[in-house]
Structure 1
């Protein structure tokens, strides 16, 4: 059980959903094996998955080749083109 589940947390939000009988039985067994209620088991599992999904969506996955090109672009950026040079001369763009 995670530390967050052991702490006393005020729970006032509610989620409801339906599952197949087989899913319910599996979830109940897993919760029992961990010594927690079905609600705590599902809340913990959903929270862990939500954190993972959010972290995964925030990270950019690059191949080695893409990584090398990205680093090269940072280290050796292209020279500014005429449009960028003109924009940089405009005081309102600063």
Structure 2
């Protein structure tokens, strides 16, 4: 049973066409179309995998965007961390590494 085939038409310069044709030939592909489809498919899968690696579901994406747009109020631990950071970096001179090491 034959699979249905769609067509994509593109316009490229002669130099790019010759380059792609040569790469297809030395890579062992039977046709330029086979070469282009192979590379495009591989890149499409990579992009999709990269895009979905961190936020896998639509629900994850919604929670992430909601947290960015409406962040929760800082809790006690975050306030304490900010105080410690300010104490550490505001009291030391910019190049006073000895003072930094004592506090860290």
TM-score between both structures, scaled by the size of structure 1? 0.51
**Matching residue of 1:28:** 21
Q: Which blocks of at least 5 consecutive residues in structure 2 are unaligned?
A: 56-74, 76-104
Cα shift readout 1:53-84 (whole Å, capped 9, x = no counterpart): 100100129xxxxxxxxxxxxxxxx9xxxxxx
Q: Does 1:49 align with 2:40?
A: no
Structure label with greater radius of gyration = 2
Q: Which blocks of at least 5 consecutive residues in structure 1 are unaligned?
A: 1-8, 62-77, 79-94
CA distance in 2, matches of 1:21, 1:56: 33
Q: How many residues align?
A: 54
TM-score between both structures, scaled by the size of structure 2? 0.46
Q: Which has the higher contact order (CA 8 A, sep 6+)?
A: 1
- Following superposition, the deviation at residue 25 of structure 1 comes to 0.9
